[in-house]
């Protein structure tokens, strides 16, 4: 049998994701891809591979997974309770998954979207140039137990490494730039939008999340109608009842709701990973500052691999060093090199 | 109106050619997008048109907002985009459609709202050469226009739970054709056998922005014959 990862059991939102399908906006298909793109970069850095390789996105709940042969894995994004043969596996880290051993991943302990990356990536058939599931477009579907996913060839490399994950799993301050209708909102409403603490609504999915205001809703003066225009992930629409709705990876391509602002791509993972009830605030920045922020974020992403360190293990659990691949790459003294 | 250029979020620009839908603004948006694609401005990652605007996404870490604005302003100044010819490569589609009855359960009320009879309504739609003004909302889903003024009818506030794939629906002088079963406030007047989004074929999206469309009335049972044809019996010819 060829190299594969089998989903033994799956929570309701387990999907194959990569960086999505840019270039189809003109045909009504949004980019899609992972809700937290940073988590893909982290997984790729841990395994020393291309961040465009396909991974499993685990929305809120995990599942049980089994490898057909020994496989390198990385666990990133929302921290979840992962165990292998009853032993807890560190999150934001890489491990060796032995053939046939059940990897059990529980619900998220913080955040929303956890990611399971494998060495070589998932090699499911690409559709329109991407392996990512786009639920709204009917491209792929959440995975059910019993699904076997082919794995790509793994160039190999060290495991047993951890990475300091950017904290983004409990809301916080979100930086936004002005959008198409920002100037149409009353100055007092813009000030209130920045001053208020919002709570991530109970409902939310890969298309977007609703932010519950503490006070009155937001909106434009009556009589203003907006012609539908292109919308993109990060845009903050003010929906009919005045609550902001932040668009995520799988949003539509056009929309006619007024947009009060647009979240910086660097802060979108923080929005996607805010669990229901999490407190968030919005702060406007100018385009110049936004570019600076994005440059820093891009540089940090490029430097992720250099921040890998060896996992510290509890010696009592180190019963089988070889089985955990601790010996192979980590001890050559170069594991921390980019 | 003069075209308006404004940033759209962190990594986009929007060039708007009208504050309401018009043929000229739609033409300008289509022509300008074509020019943006042809210009090959470094850093532009994708472009699209909405009803009256051209949108483009770029990488601000590669080309600054100011520089991008200058490049777009230069392109805007090159010609009168409202009078520009439509992009080349457009096609004319003639699409069989079954009007009224079970195939178009809301034709009667749509015709009434338009102030004409059912038969006249179907005739008027079929007699109008329509343009794919934009594709959006769902993958491959065209907004077709413009219908004669009588069709300036509002969307319904009561949503129809499920219009089947290939359903032709009308409101505000436009028609939409659904790629998938969709809830909608637009009135379902006819049914086609078009399969607008086929992700696993070489042409995943049947229609392109700027294409022209004419509907030809057929009997409801005639549609069954097109079931195996992804084009739903439609003919397609290149426009000169």
Contact check, Cβ <8 Å, B9/A291: no
Domain identity same for B109 and B200: yes
Q: What percent of chain A has pLDDT over 70?
A: 91
Measured in angstroms, the CA of A124 and the nearest CA of chain B are apart by 14
**CATH code for the domain in which residue B145 is found:** 2.40.100.10
Question: Does B107 lie in the same domain as B52?
Answer: no
Cα–Cα distance between A176 and A189 in angstroms, integer?
Answer: 15
Q: Which residue of B has its CA nearest to A266?
A: B10
Chain-centroid distance, C-alpha B61:
33
Residue from B8, B9, B51, B133 whose CB has the most chain A CBs within 10 Å, to mutate: B9
Instruction: State the residue range of the domain holding B39.
Output: 4-83
Reported ipTM: the value is 0.94
Q: Are residues B201 and B120 in the same domain?
A: yes
> Residue B199: which of A128, A229, A234 has the nearest Cβ?
A128
Test A137 with B138 for CB contact under 8 angstroms. Answer: yes
Residues linked to residue A99 through DSSP beta bridges, in sequence order: A67
**Residue A253 tokens, joined:** 């391509």
At residue A322, the pLDDT reads 46
Chain A residues touching chain B at CB-CB below 8 Å: 22-29, 127-128, 136-139, 177-180, 227-230, 232, 234-235, 252-254, 262, 264-265, 287, 290-291, 294-295, 298
Q: Cα B38 to chain center, whole Å?
A: 22
- Residue B40 belongs to a domain with what CATH number? 3.30.1360.40
pLDDT in the model for residue A328: 44
Q: Which of B55, B83, B111 is the last residue of a domain?
A: B83
Query: B171 in helix, strand or coil?
Result: strand
If you average pLDDT over residues B156-164, what whole number do you get? 87
The 10s digit of each residue's pLDDT in A99-129 is: 999 999 999 999 999 999 999 999 999 999 9
Summarize the confidence of residues A289-298 as an average pLDDT. 98
B105 & B39 share domain: no
> Which chain A residue shows the shortest CA-CA distance from B22?
A227
Give the helix ranges, DSSP H, for B51-206.
65-76, 107-114, 118-127
pLDDT digits (tens, 9 = 90+) for A167-215: 999 999 999 999 999 999 999 999 999 999 999 999 889 999 999 999 9
pLDDT, chain B, mean: 95
Going by pLDDT thresholds of 50, 70 and 90, the confidence category of residue A222 is low
CA–CA gap between residue A145 and residue A150 (Å, rounded): 15
Residue A327 has pLDDT above 50, yes or no: no
Number of domains in chain B: 2
Give me the phi and psi of A143, to 5 degrees please.
-80, 140
Residues B54 and B136 in one domain: no
Same domain, B187 and B143: yes
Query: Is the pLDDT assigned to residue A57 strictly greater than 70?
Result: yes
Q: Tell me, what's the pLDDT at A224? A: 62
- Please report the DSSP string for B55-82 in residue order: EEEE-TTTS-HHHHHHHHHHHHTTS-GG
How do residues B117-144 score in pLDDT, each as one tens digit?
999 999 999 999 999 999 998 999 999 9
Q: A12: Cβ–Cβ under 8 A, 6 or more apart, which residues?
A: A59, A60, A61, A142
User: Which pLDDT score, from 0 to 100, does residue A1 have?
Assistant: 53
Find tokens 């219908």 and name the residue: B147
Q: Clarify whether residues B38 and B124 are in a common domain.
A: no
Is the pLDDT confidence value at A337 over 90? no
- pLDDT of residue A331 exceeding 90: no
Look up tokens 């140039």; give the residue.
A129
Tell me the average pLDDT across A49-70: 97
pLDDT at B86 over 90: yes
Q: Choosing among B33, B135, B136, which should be mutated to test the A contact, i.e. which has the most A CBs within 10 A?
A: B136
Write the CB contacts of B231 (distance below 8 Å, at least 6 apart in sequence): B194, B195, B206
Q: Which of B52, B83, B114 finishes a domain?
A: B83
Q: For a pLDDT cut of 90, what percent of chain B falls above it?
A: 90
Examine the pLDDT at A47 and tell me if it is beyond 90: yes
Residue from A21, A130, A131, A253 whose CB has the most chain B CBs within 10 Å, to mutate: A253
Q: Which residues pair with A4 in a beta bridge?
A: A150
Same domain, B102 and B203: yes
Q: Which of B8, B180, B197 sits opposite A230 (nearest CB)?
A: B8
The answer on B234 and B123 residing in a single domain is yes
Closest CA to A169 of A275, A72, A82: A275
Task: Please state the rounded mean pLDDT for residues A216-238.
Answer: 85
Please, what are the domains in chain A? 4-165+308-332 (no CATH), 172-299 (2.40.100.10)
Q: Two tokens at A104?
A: 């059990």
Q: Does the pLDDT value for residue B161 go beyond 60? A: yes
CA–centroid distance for B90 within its chain: 13
- Among the listed residues B68, B67, B60, B93, the one whose alpha carbon sits nearest the alpha carbon of residue B14: B68
pLDDT of residue A324: 46
pLDDT digit string (tens) for B215-228?
999 999 999 999 88
pLDDT, average across residues B91-119: 97
Query: Are B157 and B186 part of one and the same domain?
Result: yes
For A230, which of B6, B14, B197 is closest by C-beta distance? B14
Q: What is the predicted pLDDT for the residue at A223?
A: 54
By the 10 Å C-beta count (0-12 exposed, 13-18 middle, 19+ buried), A245 is classed as buried
B56 lies in the same domain as B149:
no
pLDDT, one tens digit per residue, over A295-319 is 999 999 999 999 999 997 655 445 4
| Cβ neighbours of A166 (radius 10 Å) | 17
Residue numbers in A near B16 (CB within 8 A):
229
CB contact under 8 A, B135 and A262: no
Cβ <8 Å between B134 and A254: yes
CB-based contact A68:A2 (threshold 8 Å): yes
pLDDT (0 to 100) of residue A247: 97
Q: What's the CA gap between A198 and A270, in Å, rounded? A: 14
In this predicted structure, the answer to whether residue A96 has a pLDDT above a threshold of 60 is yes
Pairing of the two strands B212-217 and B91-99: parallel
Answer yes or no: do B126 and B190 share one domain. yes
CA angle A93, A281, A270 (to 5 degrees): 20
Cis peptide before A308 (omega within 30 of 0): no
Nearest CA to B172 out of B153, B156, B159, B158 is that of: B153
* CA of A215 vs chain B CAs: smallest distance (Å): 26
3-state DSSP call for residue A218? coil
Average predicted confidence (pLDDT) for chain A: 91
> Burial, A214: exposed, middle or buried (Cβ in 10 Å; 0-12, 13-18, 19+)?
exposed
Which of B61, B83, B105 is a domain's end point?
A: B83
């Amino acid at each position: 049998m060829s190299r594969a990862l089998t989903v033994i059991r799956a929570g309701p939102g387990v999907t194959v994701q990569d960086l999505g399908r840019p270039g189809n906006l003109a045909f009504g298909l949004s980019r899609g891809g992972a809700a937290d793109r940073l988590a893909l970069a982290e997984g790729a850095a841990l395994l020393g591979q291309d961040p465009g390789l396909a991974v499993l996105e685990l929305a809120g709940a995990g599942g049980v997974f089994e490898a057909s042969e020994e496989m390198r894995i990385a666990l990133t994004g929302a921290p979840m309770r992962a165990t292998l043969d009853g032993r807890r596996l560190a999150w934001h880290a890489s491990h060796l998954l032995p053939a046939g051993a059940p990897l059990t991943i529980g619900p998220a302990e913080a955040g929303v979207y956890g990611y399971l990356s494998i060495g070589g990536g998932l090699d499911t058939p690409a559709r329109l140039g991407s392996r990512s599931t786009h639920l709204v477009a009917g491209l792929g579907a959440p995975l059910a137990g019993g699904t076997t996913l082919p794995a790509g060839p793994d160039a190999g490399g060290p495991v047993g490494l951890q990475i300091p994950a950017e904290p983004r799993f409990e809301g916080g301050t979100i930086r936004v730039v002005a959008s198409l209708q920002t100037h149409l909102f009353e100055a007092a409403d813009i000030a209130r939008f920045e001053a208020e603490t919002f709570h991530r609504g109970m409902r939310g999915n890969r298309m977007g999340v609703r932010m519950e205001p503490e006070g009155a809703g937001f909106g434009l003066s009556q009589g203003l109608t907006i012609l539908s225009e292109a919308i993109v992930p990060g845009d903050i629409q003010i929906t009919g009842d005045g609550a902001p709705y932040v668009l995520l990876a799988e949003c539509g391509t056009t929309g006619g709701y007024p947009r009060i602002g647009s979240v910086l791509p660097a802060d979108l993972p923080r929005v996607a990973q805010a669990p229901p009830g999490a407190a968030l605030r919005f702060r406007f920045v100018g385009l110049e500052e936004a570019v600076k922020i994005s440059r820093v974020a891009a540089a940090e992403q490029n430097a992720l691999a250099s921040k890998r360190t060896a996992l510290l293990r509890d010696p009592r659990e180190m019963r089988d060093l070889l089985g955990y691949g601790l010996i192979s790459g980590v001890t050559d003294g170069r594991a921390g090199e980019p | 109106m003069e075209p308006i250029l404004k940033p759209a979020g962190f990594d986009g620009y929007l060039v708007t050619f009208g504050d309401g839908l018009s043929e000229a603004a739609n033409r300008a948006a289509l022509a300008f997008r074509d020019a943006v694609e042809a210009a090959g401005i470094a850093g532009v990652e994708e472009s699209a048109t909405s009803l009256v605007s051209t949108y483009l996404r770029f990488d601000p870490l590669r080309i600054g907002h100011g520089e991008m604005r200058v490049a777009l302003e230069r392109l805007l100044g090159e010609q009168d985009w409202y009078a520009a010819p439509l992009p080349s490569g457009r096609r004319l589609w003639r699409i069989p459609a079954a009007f009224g009855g079970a195939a178009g359960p809301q034709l009667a009320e749509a015709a009434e709202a338009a102030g004409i009879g059912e038969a006249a309504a179907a005739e008027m739609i079929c007699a109008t050469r329509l343009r794919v003004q934009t594709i959006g909302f769902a993958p491959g889903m065209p907004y077709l226009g413009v219908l004669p003024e009588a069709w300036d009818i509002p969307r319904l506030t009561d949503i129809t739970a499920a219009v089947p794939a290939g359903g032709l629906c009308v409101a505000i002088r436009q028609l939409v054709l659904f790629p998938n079963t969709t809830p909608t406030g637009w009135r379902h007047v006819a049914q086609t056998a078009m399969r607008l989004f086929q992700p696993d074929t070489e042409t995943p999206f049947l229609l392109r922005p700027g294409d022209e469309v004419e509907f030809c009335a057929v009997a409801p049972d005639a549609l069954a014959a097109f079931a195996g044809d992804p084009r739903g019996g439609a003919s397609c010819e290149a426009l000169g």
